[in-house]
Amino acid sequence: MIPLLLSFLLAVPSSAAAPTVKDAQAFMDSAEQTLETLGRRSAFSSWAMQTNINYSTEWLAGDADNAYSAKAAELARQARKFDKLKLPADLARKFLMLKLTVTAPAPLDPKEQKELSDTKVWLESTYGKGKYCPASTTTCLSLDDMEDVLRSSRDPQRLQEVWAGWRTISVPMRPRYQRFAQLSNKGAQDLGFADTADLWRSGYDMKPEEFSAELDRQWEQMKPLYLALHTYVRRRLTEKYGKAVMGDDGLIPQQLTGNMWGQSWENIYDIVAPPKAKPAFDLTEQIKKAKLDEKTMVQYGERFFTSIGFPALPPTFWERSMLTRPRDREVVCHASAWDVENGQDLRIKMCIKQNAEDFVTIHHELGHNFYQRAYEKQPYFFRGSANDGFHEALGDTIALSVTPEYLKTVGLIDTVPGPEGDIDLLLKMAMERVSFIPFGLLVDQWRWGVFTGKIKPENYNQAWWDLVRKYQGQKPPVARSETDFDPGAKYHIPANTPYSRYFLAHILQFQFYRSLCQQGGHKGPLHRCSFYGDKAAGKRLGDMMAMGSSRPWPEALEAATGQKQMDATAVLEYFAPLKAWLDEQNKGQTTGWN
């Protein structure tokens, strides 16, 4: 038995005196070490689960996620004792990163922590395993089967069926997503945020409300371009499918866009191609004609990066990546890039198909891997991109350089179309990337609404479709109700991946590209520039990537482009000739929707 006085002395150690900067530094060093170890364990477990979904791997992934999230939350709460200290900027930045490291932070109660981790894993694996089993047959369709249909079928009935069929997989997610949002908000509040949306918006070197305003500003800049494309595509779809399928409210039926979520429209380029132009080339056809298998497609991507000076991918990349859908087990096919051992063990996980869409996605994923390796020397909390939009933009910037000139250089096409092919090429690119912009905005408009409580559970689905209508000008092919949970049919909702990053990436990638092309002395229209083989361009990108997230993003942006603002003018400049052409085509048409 310890005498009362002594036990009091033991409980209040001498370090209870005001903490110093040195204490804060020591605390942070140890926190980084702890989380690096737990993070590695969680990455391995999650890889095991996502490439082989079963009861045991789900258990392991949930357990490892719980260990990481609970520890991160505990450390973030302990870190409060340094709140009043004036810390050097670097160290203060790490303390912020510590609070932001988990996108759905663990609440205080260990039982709720466990419940949250298990719910996260359940949501993601339910999406991964999702299948639609039509009543008429015994075969079930996976998401990639249904995406094939959306890509290539032009039968509205069939399109509608798979569109609605895929959305049956998310119905059971509804109550668990509601609980998930509740628990995540609890965790965020324990860390001092108003809610999870407040936490998500705190990672951009500005106030959360300034970030929202910044997105709105950028959207307003790009809206006329999107509206022009929407008006044109809607007319061509009406010519193809008729008023009976299209309706007359000005909205585009989502199942006709060639994409499950109407988020990018390149797969229906054949329907909207300028009437007289002979298509310059069809990359999907070229890939099939050249019989490029999945690994060779990835090697094309890698070669672009090595051509601008990045070292080749390690042999383990080829041994450990998952490039195709395995036949014998359930997996999460949604493409992702992994860095399980800080730059030493890079991998991608993808179910590659031989088509142009996946060729671009390969470049996107490799962009993540090369970024990860570039910042491996940074301390744990600075191993990330300047803001999350940078990570998403990198590979897309490279893919903008996949021009006809480039494809000819690497032997994938025989002839480069002349200037008469410009509109054709720009329209193709707009179908891929301009179409995406409103979707990039609306996903988090929905989630922020859910987390802040502005969107109530009884309105989850209606609120989603209101946003789709408002931003994308699209509609579902069949009536939806509050039994459905259509947001859950988009990967990033069950996987809880913030989405504004992709919106930012669609601005940043054009900024990076324009700047690298200017630096490389490119002459002629911007969209014909490829910086393939340009080592100086690689060096500029590489220097920025090596900074990781150690500095506020405007500094990283300045290092790469000389600009300090994210700015949609590069997008507008790139597409300017197309915008003029679209305006001409759209004369006499009503723009927008009811």
Q: Which residues are designated catalytic?
A: 334-335, 364-365, 368, 392, 492, 502
Q: Which does 534 bind (CB under 5 to 8 A by kind): ligand X8Z, Zn ion, none?
A: none
Q: Which does 502 bind (CB under 5 to 8 A by kind): Zn ion, ligand X8Z, none?
A: ligand X8Z
- 8 A C-beta contact, residue 431 and residue 403: no
- What's 491's DSSP letter? T
Longest dimension (CA), the chain: 95
- What's 157's DSSP letter? H
Q: Which does 232 bind (CB under 5 to 8 A by kind): ligand X8Z, Zn ion, none?
A: none
Q: Which one, of 264, 218, 494, 225, lies nearest residue 361 by Cα?
A: 264
CB nearer to ligand X8Z: give 294 or 583: 294
- What's 322's DSSP letter? B
Q: Which does 336 bind (CB under 5 to 8 A by kind): ligand X8Z, Zn ion, none?
A: ligand X8Z
- 8 A C-beta contact, residue 387 and residue 504: yes
Q: Using CB atoms, what's the residue nearest to Zn ion?
A: 392
CB nearer to ligand X8Z: give 57 or 361: 361
Single-letter amino acid, residue 202: S
Q: Which does 515 bind (CB under 5 to 8 A by kind): ligand X8Z, Zn ion, none?
A: none
Residue 505 CB, shortest distance to ligand X8Z, in Å, is 8
385 binds ligand X8Z (CB under 6 A): no
CB nearer to Zn ion: give 358 or 392: 392
Residue 346-375 contact track with ligand X8Z, rule CB under 6 A, x = bound:
---------------x--x-----------
Question: Rounded CA gap, 543 and 562, in Å?
Answer: 13
Residues 314-343 that bind ligand X8Z (CB under 6 A): 335-336
227 binds ligand X8Z (CB under 6 A): no
Q: Which one, of 372, 361, 388, lies nearest residue 566 by Cα?
A: 388
Residue 335 CB, shortest distance to ligand X8Z, in Å, is 4
Residues 356-395 that bind Zn ion (CB under 5 A): 392
Size of the site for ligand X8Z (CB under 6 A): 5
Q: Using CB atoms, what's the residue nearest to ligand X8Z?
A: 335
502 binds ligand X8Z (CB under 6 A): yes
CB nearer to Zn ion: give 176 or 368: 368
3-state helix/strand/coil string of 30-59: HHHHHHHHHHHHHHHHHHHHHCCCCHHHHH
Say if residue 8 is exposed, middle or buried (CB neighbours under 10 Å; 0-12, 13-18, 19+).
exposed
Q: Which one, of 225, 314, 131, 333, lies nearest residue 577 by Cα?
A: 225
Q: Would the CA dihedral through 113, 198, 215, 589 be positive or negative?
A: positive
- 8 A C-beta contact, residue 42 and residue 341: no
CB nearer to ligand X8Z: give 31 or 442: 442
3-state helix/strand/coil string of 525-578: CHHHCCCCCCHHHHHHHHHHHHCCCCCCHHHHHHHHHCCCCCCCHHHHHHHHHH
In 270-387 the beta strands, taken as DSSP E runs, fall at 336-339, 346-349
Cα 251 to Cα 29, 279, 472, 475, 530: the distances in Å are: 54, 27, 9, 6, 36
Q: Which does 218 bind (CB under 5 to 8 A by kind): Zn ion, ligand X8Z, none?
A: none
Q: Which one, of 373, 410, 372, 371, lies nearest residue 394 by Cα?
A: 371
Residue 333 CB, shortest distance to ligand X8Z, in Å, is 10
CB nearer to ligand X8Z: give 198 or 365: 365
Q: Which does 353 bind (CB under 5 to 8 A by kind): ligand X8Z, Zn ion, none?
A: none
CB nearer to ligand X8Z: give 245 or 335: 335
Residues 157-186 that bind ligand X8Z (CB under 6 A): none
484: helix, strand or coil: coil
Size of the site for Zn ion (CB under 5 A): 1
Residues 327-346 that bind Zn ion (CB under 5 A): none
CB nearer to Zn ion: give 357 or 392: 392
Residue 364 CB, shortest distance to ligand X8Z, in Å, is 6
Q: Which does 335 bind (CB under 5 to 8 A by kind): Zn ion, ligand X8Z, none?
A: ligand X8Z
Q: Which does 361 bind (CB under 5 to 8 A by kind): Zn ion, ligand X8Z, none?
A: ligand X8Z
Q: Which one, of 352, 348, 359, lies nearest residue 287 by Cα?
A: 359
Question: Rounded CA gap, 106 and 486, in Å?
Answer: 26
Q: Would the CA dihedral through 563, 567, 568, 569 be positive or negative?
A: negative
Residue 336 CB, shortest distance to ligand X8Z, in Å, is 6
495 binds ligand X8Z (CB under 6 A): no
CB nearer to ligand X8Z: give 64 or 143: 143
Q: Which long-range contacts (CB under 8 A, 24 or more apart) does 146-152 make?
A: 146/260, 147/259, 147/260, 148/353, 150/255, 150/257, 150/258, 150/259, 150/260, 150/267, 151/258, 151/267, 151/355, 151/357, 152/267
Residue ranges binding Zn ion (CB under 5 A): 392
Residue ranges binding ligand X8Z (CB under 6 A): 335-336, 361, 364, 502
